[in-house]
Chain A
Protein backbone atom coordinates (compact mmCIF):
# COMPACT_ATOMS: atom_id res chain seq x y z
CA UNK A 1 0.00 0.00 0.00
CA UNK A 2 1.44 3.38 -0.97
CA UNK A 3 2.38 5.90 1.67
CA UNK A 4 -0.21 8.53 2.54
CA UNK A 5 0.44 12.23 2.80
CA UNK A 6 -1.57 15.01 4.38
CA UNK A 7 -2.49 18.65 3.90
CA UNK A 8 -1.26 20.52 6.95
CA UNK A 9 -2.44 24.05 6.12
CA UNK A 10 -3.98 25.88 3.19
CA UNK A 11 -4.73 29.46 2.23
CA UNK A 12 -6.66 31.53 -0.29
CA UNK A 13 -6.13 35.03 -1.60
CA UNK A 14 -8.96 36.25 -3.82
CA UNK A 15 -11.84 38.74 -3.91
CA UNK A 16 -9.90 41.15 -1.68
CA UNK A 17 -9.79 38.51 1.02
CA UNK A 18 -6.98 36.56 2.65
CA UNK A 19 -7.87 33.35 4.46
CA UNK A 20 -5.96 30.55 6.17
CA UNK A 21 -7.55 27.13 6.70
CA UNK A 22 -10.91 28.53 5.64
CA UNK A 23 -10.84 31.38 8.16
CA UNK A 24 -10.77 34.93 6.84
CA UNK A 25 -7.86 36.83 8.40
CA UNK A 26 -7.91 39.95 6.22
CA UNK A 27 -10.64 41.51 4.15
CA UNK A 28 -9.88 44.80 2.47
CA UNK A 29 -13.07 46.76 2.05
CA UNK A 30 -12.75 49.38 -0.70
CA UNK A 31 -13.34 52.97 0.35
CA UNK A 32 -15.44 53.57 -2.74
CA UNK A 33 -18.10 51.28 -4.08
CA UNK A 34 -15.96 50.34 -7.03
CA UNK A 35 -13.68 47.36 -6.94
CA UNK A 36 -10.33 48.14 -5.41
CA UNK A 37 -7.39 47.48 -7.66
CA UNK A 38 -5.01 44.64 -6.93
CA UNK A 39 -1.98 46.78 -6.13
CA UNK A 40 -3.81 48.60 -3.34
CA UNK A 41 -5.26 45.39 -1.96
CA UNK A 42 -2.00 43.45 -1.95
CA UNK A 43 -0.12 46.36 -0.39
CA UNK A 44 -2.69 46.59 2.40
CA UNK A 45 -2.52 42.81 2.91
CA UNK A 46 1.29 42.96 3.01
CA UNK A 47 1.17 45.63 5.71
CA UNK A 48 -1.54 43.86 7.68
CA UNK A 49 0.54 40.68 7.74
CA UNK A 50 3.61 42.67 8.85
CA UNK A 51 5.65 41.19 6.03
CA UNK A 52 8.96 42.97 6.37
CA UNK A 53 10.53 42.42 2.95
CA UNK A 54 11.25 45.57 0.95
CA UNK A 55 11.91 43.64 -2.27
CA UNK A 56 8.21 42.77 -2.30
CA UNK A 57 7.41 46.13 -3.88
CA UNK A 58 9.73 45.44 -6.79
CA UNK A 59 7.93 42.22 -7.74
CA UNK A 60 5.32 41.89 -10.47
CA UNK A 61 1.70 41.16 -9.56
CA UNK A 62 1.96 37.39 -9.94
CA UNK A 63 5.01 37.22 -7.70
CA UNK A 64 3.39 39.46 -5.08
CA UNK A 65 0.37 37.17 -5.01
CA UNK A 66 2.43 33.97 -4.83
CA UNK A 67 4.91 35.44 -2.33
CA UNK A 68 2.22 36.53 0.11
CA UNK A 69 0.30 33.25 -0.14
CA UNK A 70 3.49 31.27 0.49
CA UNK A 71 4.41 33.58 3.37
CA UNK A 72 1.06 32.84 5.04
CA UNK A 73 1.87 29.13 5.20
CA UNK A 74 5.64 29.14 5.69
CA UNK A 75 5.98 31.79 8.38
CA UNK A 76 4.78 29.35 11.05
CA UNK A 77 6.95 26.45 9.89
CA UNK A 78 9.97 27.27 12.07
CA UNK A 79 12.18 27.17 9.03
CA UNK A 80 15.93 26.72 9.17
CA UNK A 81 17.78 29.99 8.59
CA UNK A 82 20.30 28.28 6.31
CA UNK A 83 18.45 25.79 4.15
CA UNK A 84 15.04 24.10 3.83
CA UNK A 85 13.84 21.23 1.67
CA UNK A 86 10.29 22.23 0.83
CA UNK A 87 9.45 21.64 -2.83
CA UNK A 88 7.25 24.08 -4.72
CA UNK A 89 4.66 22.81 -7.22
CA UNK A 90 2.64 25.72 -8.55
CA UNK A 91 0.27 26.12 -11.47
CA UNK A 92 -1.98 28.63 -13.19
CA UNK A 93 -3.76 29.46 -16.41
CA UNK A 94 -2.45 32.90 -17.38
CA UNK A 95 1.26 32.13 -16.98
CA UNK A 96 3.02 35.54 -16.73
CA UNK A 97 0.69 37.15 -19.28
CA UNK A 98 0.01 40.26 -17.19
CA UNK A 99 3.70 41.15 -17.11
CA UNK A 100 4.26 39.95 -20.69
CA UNK A 101 1.72 42.56 -21.82
CA UNK A 102 3.54 45.31 -19.95
CA UNK A 103 6.79 44.31 -21.58
CA UNK A 104 5.14 44.16 -25.00
CA UNK A 105 3.76 47.68 -24.52
CA UNK A 106 7.27 48.96 -23.79
CA UNK A 107 8.75 47.53 -27.00
CA UNK A 108 5.93 47.85 -29.54
CA UNK A 109 6.88 51.36 -30.62
CA UNK A 110 10.29 51.51 -32.30
CA UNK A 111 10.60 55.24 -31.72
CA UNK A 112 9.96 54.80 -28.00
CA UNK A 113 11.75 51.50 -27.45
CA UNK A 114 12.56 51.47 -23.75
CA UNK A 115 12.05 47.98 -22.30
CA UNK A 116 12.19 47.96 -18.52
CA UNK A 117 14.70 45.44 -17.09
CA UNK A 118 12.64 45.29 -13.90
CA UNK A 119 9.56 44.25 -15.88
CA UNK A 120 11.39 41.92 -18.25
CA UNK A 121 12.84 39.76 -15.48
CA UNK A 122 9.30 38.76 -14.50
CA UNK A 123 8.22 37.57 -17.95
CA UNK A 124 8.21 33.94 -16.80
CA UNK A 125 5.73 32.53 -14.27
CA UNK A 126 8.32 30.50 -12.37
CA UNK A 127 10.17 33.65 -11.28
CA UNK A 128 7.75 33.79 -8.36
CA UNK A 129 9.15 30.43 -7.19
CA UNK A 130 12.58 32.03 -7.06
CA UNK A 131 11.29 34.91 -4.97
CA UNK A 132 9.75 32.48 -2.48
CA UNK A 133 12.87 30.31 -2.44
CA UNK A 134 15.12 33.30 -1.75
CA UNK A 135 12.97 34.56 1.11
CA UNK A 136 12.55 31.18 2.82
CA UNK A 137 15.90 29.65 1.81
CA UNK A 138 14.39 26.76 -0.09
CA UNK A 139 17.09 24.78 -1.85
CA UNK A 140 14.60 22.37 -3.32
CA UNK A 141 12.70 21.10 -6.33
CA UNK A 142 10.34 23.58 -7.93
CA UNK A 143 7.99 23.45 -10.90
CA UNK A 144 5.40 25.74 -12.41
CA UNK A 145 2.73 24.22 -14.67
CA UNK A 146 0.27 25.95 -16.99
CA UNK A 147 -3.21 24.40 -17.21
CA UNK A 148 -6.59 25.43 -18.64
CA UNK A 149 -8.15 24.86 -15.24
CA UNK A 150 -7.24 24.03 -11.65
CA UNK A 151 -5.75 20.54 -11.87
CA UNK A 152 -5.92 18.74 -8.53
CA UNK A 153 -4.96 15.41 -10.08
CA UNK A 154 -1.64 16.66 -11.35
CA UNK A 155 -0.76 18.51 -8.12
CA UNK A 156 -1.54 15.44 -6.04
CA UNK A 157 0.47 13.06 -8.22
CA UNK A 158 3.49 15.34 -8.53
CA UNK A 159 3.64 16.30 -4.86
CA UNK A 160 3.25 12.71 -3.69
CA UNK A 161 5.97 11.60 -6.06
CA UNK A 162 8.39 14.20 -4.66
CA UNK A 163 7.62 13.19 -1.09
CA UNK A 164 7.63 9.45 -1.73
CA UNK A 165 10.98 9.58 -3.52
CA UNK A 166 12.50 11.61 -0.69
CA UNK A 167 13.28 14.55 -2.92
CA UNK A 168 11.37 16.84 -0.56
CA UNK A 169 10.44 16.79 3.11
CA UNK A 170 7.33 18.88 2.44
CA UNK A 171 5.69 20.28 -0.66
CA UNK A 172 3.97 23.61 -1.08
CA UNK A 173 1.45 23.23 -3.89
CA UNK A 174 -1.34 25.08 -5.57
CA UNK A 175 -2.73 27.58 -8.00
CA UNK A 176 -1.58 31.20 -8.36
CA UNK A 177 -3.22 33.01 -11.23
CA UNK A 178 -3.16 36.68 -12.17
CA UNK A 179 -4.41 38.42 -15.29
CA UNK A 180 -5.72 41.97 -15.71
CA UNK A 181 -6.72 42.58 -12.11
CA UNK A 182 -8.30 39.13 -11.83
CA UNK A 183 -6.46 37.07 -9.25
CA UNK A 184 -6.81 33.78 -7.44
CA UNK A 185 -4.30 32.11 -5.14
CA UNK A 186 -4.78 28.79 -3.38
CA UNK A 187 -1.76 27.15 -1.79
CA UNK A 188 -1.48 24.20 0.56
CA UNK A 189 1.35 22.49 2.39
CA UNK A 190 1.72 18.71 2.16
CA UNK A 191 3.68 16.56 4.58
CA UNK A 192 3.72 13.15 6.21
CA UNK A 193 1.43 14.00 9.09
CA UNK A 194 -1.85 15.80 9.35
CA UNK A 195 -5.60 15.45 9.43
CA UNK A 196 -6.67 16.11 5.85
CA UNK A 197 -5.55 13.39 3.51
CA UNK A 198 -3.85 14.59 0.35
CA UNK A 199 -6.35 13.31 -2.19
CA UNK A 200 -7.73 14.97 -5.32
CA UNK A 201 -11.16 15.12 -3.69
CA UNK A 202 -9.85 16.99 -0.66
CA UNK A 203 -7.69 19.30 -2.75
CA UNK A 204 -10.69 20.17 -4.91
CA UNK A 205 -12.90 20.63 -1.87
CA UNK A 206 -10.44 23.00 -0.21
CA UNK A 207 -9.87 24.92 -3.43
CA UNK A 208 -13.62 25.58 -3.61
CA UNK A 209 -13.93 26.43 0.09
CA UNK A 210 -14.09 30.18 -0.52
Chain B
Protein backbone atom coordinates (compact mmCIF):
# COMPACT_ATOMS: atom_id res chain seq x y z
CA UNK B 1 0.00 0.00 0.00
CA UNK B 2 2.81 2.39 0.88
CA UNK B 3 4.41 1.69 -2.50
CA UNK B 4 1.12 2.43 -4.28
CA UNK B 5 0.76 5.75 -2.49
CA UNK B 6 4.26 6.82 -3.50
CA UNK B 7 3.52 5.74 -7.05
CA UNK B 8 0.31 7.78 -7.08
CA UNK B 9 2.06 10.89 -5.79
CA UNK B 10 4.71 10.62 -8.52
CA UNK B 11 2.05 10.13 -11.19
CA UNK B 12 -0.02 13.06 -9.96
CA UNK B 13 3.02 15.35 -10.07
CA UNK B 14 4.09 14.19 -13.52
CA UNK B 15 0.75 13.93 -15.27
CA UNK B 16 -0.75 17.08 -13.82
CA UNK B 17 2.44 19.11 -14.40
CA UNK B 18 2.77 20.25 -10.80
CA UNK B 19 5.88 22.38 -10.99
CA UNK B 20 8.04 22.63 -7.87
CA UNK B 21 6.06 19.93 -6.04
CA UNK B 22 7.95 16.83 -4.84
CA UNK B 23 6.61 13.47 -3.71
CA UNK B 24 7.70 14.34 -0.18
CA UNK B 25 5.55 17.50 -0.28
CA UNK B 26 2.31 15.52 -0.54
CA UNK B 27 1.07 13.93 2.67
CA UNK B 28 -1.17 10.88 2.38
CA UNK B 29 -4.15 12.79 3.78
CA UNK B 30 -3.61 16.13 2.02
CA UNK B 31 -6.67 17.37 0.13
CA UNK B 32 -5.99 17.15 -3.60
CA UNK B 33 -8.57 19.77 -4.53
CA UNK B 34 -9.53 23.09 -2.96
CA UNK B 35 -7.00 24.33 -0.44
CA UNK B 36 -4.75 21.30 -0.79
CA UNK B 37 -2.85 20.84 -4.03
CA UNK B 38 -5.29 23.18 -5.74
CA UNK B 39 -6.20 20.84 -8.58
CA UNK B 40 -8.96 21.90 -10.98
CA UNK B 41 -11.72 20.24 -13.01
CA UNK B 42 -9.43 19.33 -15.91
CA UNK B 43 -7.07 17.68 -13.41
CA UNK B 44 -10.01 15.63 -12.14
CA UNK B 45 -10.66 14.39 -15.68
CA UNK B 46 -6.97 13.53 -16.05
CA UNK B 47 -7.15 11.46 -12.86
CA UNK B 48 -10.19 9.62 -14.21
CA UNK B 49 -8.22 8.76 -17.37
CA UNK B 50 -5.27 7.67 -15.23
CA UNK B 51 -7.44 5.28 -13.21
CA UNK B 52 -8.63 3.70 -16.45
CA UNK B 53 -5.27 3.60 -18.23
CA UNK B 54 -3.02 2.48 -15.38
CA UNK B 55 -5.31 0.51 -13.10
CA UNK B 56 -8.16 -0.64 -15.33
CA UNK B 57 -10.77 1.19 -13.28
CA UNK B 58 -13.48 2.83 -15.35
CA UNK B 59 -15.71 5.25 -13.46
CA UNK B 60 -19.23 5.18 -14.85
CA UNK B 61 -20.11 8.45 -13.15
CA UNK B 62 -17.46 11.23 -13.10
CA UNK B 63 -19.10 12.53 -9.90
CA UNK B 64 -17.69 9.46 -8.14
CA UNK B 65 -14.30 11.14 -8.50
CA UNK B 66 -15.19 13.72 -5.86
CA UNK B 67 -14.97 11.12 -3.14
CA UNK B 68 -12.24 8.94 -4.67
CA UNK B 69 -9.88 11.87 -5.29
CA UNK B 70 -10.21 13.31 -1.81
CA UNK B 71 -6.62 12.41 -0.94
CA UNK B 72 -3.85 10.03 -1.98
CA UNK B 73 -4.85 7.75 0.91
CA UNK B 74 -8.46 7.52 -0.31
CA UNK B 75 -7.33 7.00 -3.90
CA UNK B 76 -4.95 4.22 -2.91
CA UNK B 77 -7.64 2.45 -0.87
CA UNK B 78 -10.05 2.62 -3.81
CA UNK B 79 -7.47 1.39 -6.34
CA UNK B 80 -6.38 -1.46 -4.07
CA UNK B 81 -9.97 -2.68 -3.92
CA UNK B 82 -11.03 -2.16 -7.54
CA UNK B 83 -7.96 -2.47 -9.75
CA UNK B 84 -8.04 -4.91 -12.68
CA UNK B 85 -4.44 -4.39 -13.73
Contacts and interface: CB of A to CB of B under 8 A. Distances in A.
Contacts of A117: 42, 45-46, 49
A57 B19 contact: yes
A116 B46 contact: yes
A29 interface: no
A54 B19 contact: yes
A100 B19 CA distance: 24
A118 B46 contact: yes
The size bracket of the interface on A is 10 to 19
B83 interface: no
A114 B49 contact: yes
B49 A116 contact: yes
Interface string A26-57: 00000000000000000000000000001011
B11 to A, nearest CB: 13
Contacts of A121: 42
- Most central of B18, B38, B42, B43 by chain A CB within 10 Å: B42
Contacts of B49: 114-117
Interface string B47-85: 001001100000000000000000000000000000000
Given A116-B46, A118-B42, A121-B42, A58 B16 contact: yes
Contact of A114 (B16, B18, B43, B53): B53
A118 B38 CA distance: 15
B52 A58 contact: no
B47 to A, nearest CB: 10
Interface in A45-87: 54, 56-58
A58 B17 CA distance: 6
Interface string B13-53: 00011110000000000000000001000110110010011
B80 to A, nearest CB: 22
A87 to B, nearest CB: 27
A56 B46 CA distance: 17
Contacts of A56: 19
Contact of A57 (B17, B38, B43, B52): B17
Contacts of A54: 19, 38
12 contacts: A57-B17, A57-B18, A57-B19, A58-B42, A114-B49, A114-B52, A114-B53, A115-B49, A116-B46, A116-B49, A117-B42, A118-B42
